[in-house]
Structure 1
Amino acid sequence: MTLDLDFVRAQFPALQGEWTFMDNAGGSQVLRTVAERVSDYLLTTNVQTGASYEPSRISTARVSQSREAFARFMNCDPGEIVEGASTTILIRFLSEAMTGRLQPGDEIILTNTDHEANIGPWLKHEARGIKIRWWRCDPETYELDLADLKALMNERTKLVCVTHASNILGTINPIREIADIAHAGGAELCVDAVAYAPHRAIDVKALDADYYIFSVYKVFGPHHAVMFGKREKLLALDNIYHYFFDKSRVPHKLEPGNINYECAWGSIGAVDYVEDLGRRAGAGEGRAAIEAGFAAIAEQERALTARLMDFLQSRNSVRVIGRTSSAIADRVSTVSFTVGERSSREVVEAVDKARIGIRYGDFYAKRIVEEHGLTKTDGTVRVSMVHYNTLAEVDRLIAALEPAL
């Protein structure tokens, strides 16, 4: 399937300017329809939900529609959708809500490849006597070995936390296999999908994760986030809202202070957009369209990654951090590299002059950067592309990089 890039780029007002955006893992550009929805909500139904008067009924219905849209997007039931401001805050809420189920001596497995959002909230349980066990990647390949995970599992393991795709490596992890290992040992699985969600279709039923979280502002929407949780798992979590919310009040017991209604309504535009891409590729509606839309997205991004990777591998001074394959099954279009002993900051600032936005640093995946000696180069240079980027833009980036390498 081939994307109509003229159509795609016309949906994003920011792309009509002179800048090339390749820092998308930090936050994608926003669809015009998303901005229009946010504005529409604020101007026409900016009231509290749950009342009997008509504007409130409309507002309530709009929030419900956002859960229905994300249920299509993730292949789950609307009653399994929790919304919030960011993945960081949703995982913090999840961690707090699991407090009553984690007892001294219980164990949690974390990886050193994750964004801190899926590490820090769980480390707080150490003060209560919970043991943290680290699943570390290979120091040369940066790969997580499933055999190492199996060796860490025991009868006290209650939770395994892992990223679906690393926001620094771009590596796609085998979530279903990880879920099978966790569940075989009696543990649950929490997946940070922030760096995966803009690039591939999500099917939480096929993945069998217990909790699966991503940020909509990385998926062409507003500053909003979504967490899937298996219904029975959500019901078992503690209430973290007011005392009069009992444990059956899912999802509301996990959304203290309520969600951002205008962002919930606006986020539907991002789901609709992917469905539209699928319909344009010849698919039907709903899940079929979403899967077809992401198939077209994945192929476009594979071509972008291959063009950039071929260039980087041709330069002796460059070391790609992570997989060098551009295959759809192996990685997303987030590529990190270092240039000898040079500061990554210097490389990025040279590219800034060409009006191309990339980034350097640790990207809040600080532990892998520190443990693998990447702080001495100011972290890595990261190029994070999405489907609205073009091969011509990659060529412009290469031209800007060449004198800096």
Structure 2
Amino acid sequence: MLGKTSELIEDVRARFAHVESCPFTGERIFFENAGGALTLKAVAETSAKFAAIPDNQGRDNPASAHLMSVIAKGKDDARTFFNAQGGEVIVGETGTELLFRLTRAACAAHATGGGKVISSTLEHPASRVAAARAAEASGLEHILVAHDDASGTVGPEAYAAAMTPDVRVATIVHASPVTGMGMDVAAIAGAIRAVAPECTIIVDGIQHAAHGHVDVTAAGVDGYVVSPYKMFSRHGFGLAWLSDRLAAAPHDALKEGGPWELGTRDTGAYAVFSDVVDYFAWLGETLGETGDRRARIEAAAAAIHAHETDLTEAMLKGTGNQKGLAELSGVTILGGVENPAREGLVSLTLEGMSAGELVAALRERGIRTHARAADHYSGNVLTPLGLDGCLRVSMCHYNTEGEVAAFLAAMKELTGD
């Protein structure tokens, strides 16, 4: 695990920009990774390189040919990351925009046949609202599966209870950006296909992708969407994998059956995604994996998950001489302390302080966190719990136990324990 080897964790941290300090405020601990993870230095360098190139794709010159090869490599690297057998990889404006496009196309394929679309109440509006609007536009019924408020999860049994053979499209959130809990996508997809085997299944992987394993073949899904800025890349694009079946669905294009990507793509977007995949492969190899590129990625994902589990356990139960959040007065942990679904994120409330006040108090102590409000984005999770907000403390594998200890010291001061 990363935290057990000081040389490795320092090597990891050295590959990211602004690990220990903000370019505007100076030294700080970054526990706001769910809002956008730290950026690989290689991504920043690659972005600058391709932003300066004047040539376009599809031209008769060596520069253009190189751009086309970079795009092809980016797509191949993405398929390796997703463990996709075939299908298409596309980039779009954002992960949200791609979830809307994929869901709209999947529903449009059934516009004349009727049926249902199934989602869960745990989902971010990026997929939940996309499903609702696409269902209405295609004359399909939208079904919402209720998540479990106490654990902050939704499981295959909940989907199974709502399934009927006429479900045409399903959306699944791989991890909640509010609770930080991960879902068993393969089990949920299995429950769906047990009743409706031809259902088109689209996964919102935006929160999950930086924290663990992604395998669309094992999961048996048709679409998987990520926002690269949340997985060590940059803002400005989203990326999706589509199965051959989903790729063939009716979609916006300049001609019928034409490419999903509209207009000239940013070559740099594909290049920086390759940088991310390169990083996963490097980490897996450094950890001792000698297999192929996919095997190295899987080794990295396993180590990332294990390290982040250690960090969240330390935050909840204490480290060194610091009490954990579970022992501090007035602290309530969303999803409970003992929750194996948690992925590098702890959401909490503190009696006597609003989430916004707590964020400000921690900021004054050099710790960057974020407040979630019971609004359009998070009210589906917070309102049933009777909360108008919560503090979200989100970690990634480059964070350290020492940073967790500093956070706990600040929380101890704020609770007065």
TM-score by length of 2: 0.89
Question: For 1:268-307, what aligned pairs fall within 5 Å after superposition?
Answer: 268-284=274-290, 285-307=292-314
* Equivalent residue, structure 2, for 1:15: 19
Question: For 1:255-334, what aligned pairs fall within 5 Å after superposition?
Answer: 255-284=261-290, 285-310=292-317, 311-325=324-338, 327=340, 330-334=341-345
Question: For 1:46-57, what aligned pairs fall within 5 Å after superposition?
Answer: 46-57=54-65
Counterpart selection for 1:373 from 380, 386, 391: 386
- Residue by residue over 1:241-276, the C-alpha shift from the partner in whole angstroms, topping out at 9 and shown as x without a partner, is 21x2x32x4xx3x22234332122122111111111
Distance 1:149 1:401 in 2: 38
- Residue by residue over 1:57-103, the C-alpha shift from the partner in whole angstroms, topping out at 9 and shown as x without a partner, is 11111111110111111111464322223210101111232343233
Do the aligned residues in 2 keep the contact of 1:182 with 1:188 (CA within 8 Å)? no
**How much has 1:277 moved relative to structure 2?**
0.7
Distance 2:352 2:222 in 1: 42
Distance 1:341 1:118 in 2: 34
**Which shows bigger deviation, 169-178 or 144-153?**
144-153
Do the aligned residues in 1 keep the contact of 2:157 with 2:191 (CA within 8 Å)? no
* Equivalent residue, structure 1, for 2:24: none
Counterpart selection for 2:245 from 232, 235, 253: 232
Counterpart selection for 2:48 from 39, 42, 47: 39
Instruction: Name the amino acid aligned to 1:34.
Output: V
Q: Secondary structure at the match of 2:144?
A: strand
Do the aligned residues in 2 keep the contact of 1:348 with 1:381 (CA within 8 Å)? yes
Do the aligned residues in 2 keep the contact of 1:63 with 1:264 (CA within 8 Å)? yes
Judged with a 3 Å threshold, the aligned counterparts in structure 2 of structure 1 residues 239 and 146 are, in CA distance, closer, same or farther, namely closer
* Equivalent residue, structure 2, for 1:402: 412
Distance 1:13 1:199 in 2: 19
Counterpart selection for 2:222 from 200, 210, 213: 210
Counterpart selection for 2:394 from 361, 384, 395: 384
Instruction: Name the amino acid aligned to 2:270.
Output: A
Judged with a 3 Å threshold, the aligned counterparts in structure 2 of structure 1 residues 138 and 352 are, in CA distance, closer, same or farther, namely same
- Residue by residue over 1:13-62, the C-alpha shift from the partner in whole angstroms, topping out at 9 and shown as x without a partner, is 2114212111101101111111111111122x442211221111111111
**Which shows bigger deviation, 12-21 or 97-106?**
97-106
Matched, 1:166 2:176: yes
Question: For 1:121-200, what aligned pairs fall within 5 Å after superposition?
Answer: 121-128=130-137, 129-186=139-196, 187-200=199-212
Distance 1:268 1:326 in 2: 33
Distance 1:79 1:127 in 2: 27
> Structure 2: which 5+ runs fail to align?
22-26, 318-323
Distance 2:33 2:82 in 1: 21
The alignment yields a C-alpha RMSD, in angstroms, of 1.9
Distance 1:261 1:146 in 2: 39
Q: Secondary structure at the match of 1:150?
A: helix
Instruction: Name the amino acid aligned to 2:142.
Output: I
Do the aligned residues in 2 keep the contact of 1:190 with 1:210 (CA within 8 Å)? yes
Q: Secondary structure at the match of 1:199?
A: coil
Counterpart selection for 1:346 from 327, 344, 357: 357
Kindly tell me the number of residue pairs found equivalent between the two proteins: 392
Instruction: Name the amino acid aligned to 1:303.
Output: D
Distance 1:146 1:295 in 2: 23
Task: Give me the identity figure in percent.
Answer: 26
Instruction: Name the amino acid aligned to 2:50.
Output: Y
**How much has 1:145 moved relative to structure 2?**
4.2
* Equivalent residue, structure 1, for 2:73: 65
Distance 1:263 1:92 in 2: 20
Judged with a 3 Å threshold, the aligned counterparts in structure 2 of structure 1 residues 58 and 349 are, in CA distance, closer, same or farther, namely same
Distance 2:214 2:19 in 1: 26
**How much has 1:127 moved relative to structure 2?**
3.7
* Equivalent residue, structure 2, for 1:28: 37
Instruction: Name the amino acid aligned to 1:32.
Output: K
Do the aligned residues in 2 keep the contact of 1:222 with 1:267 (CA within 8 Å)? no
Instruction: Name the amino acid aligned to 1:57.
Output: A
**Which shows bigger deviation, 184-193 or 59-68?**
184-193
**How much has 1:162 moved relative to structure 2?**
1.6
Instruction: Name the amino acid aligned to 2:221.
Output: A
**How much has 1:140 moved relative to structure 2?**
2.9
Instruction: Name the amino acid aligned to 1:97.
Output: A
Distance 2:86 2:93 in 1: 18
Instruction: Name the amino acid aligned to 1:339.
Output: L
**How much has 1:126 moved relative to structure 2?**
4.8
TM-score by length of 1: 0.91
Distance 1:178 1:59 in 2: 39
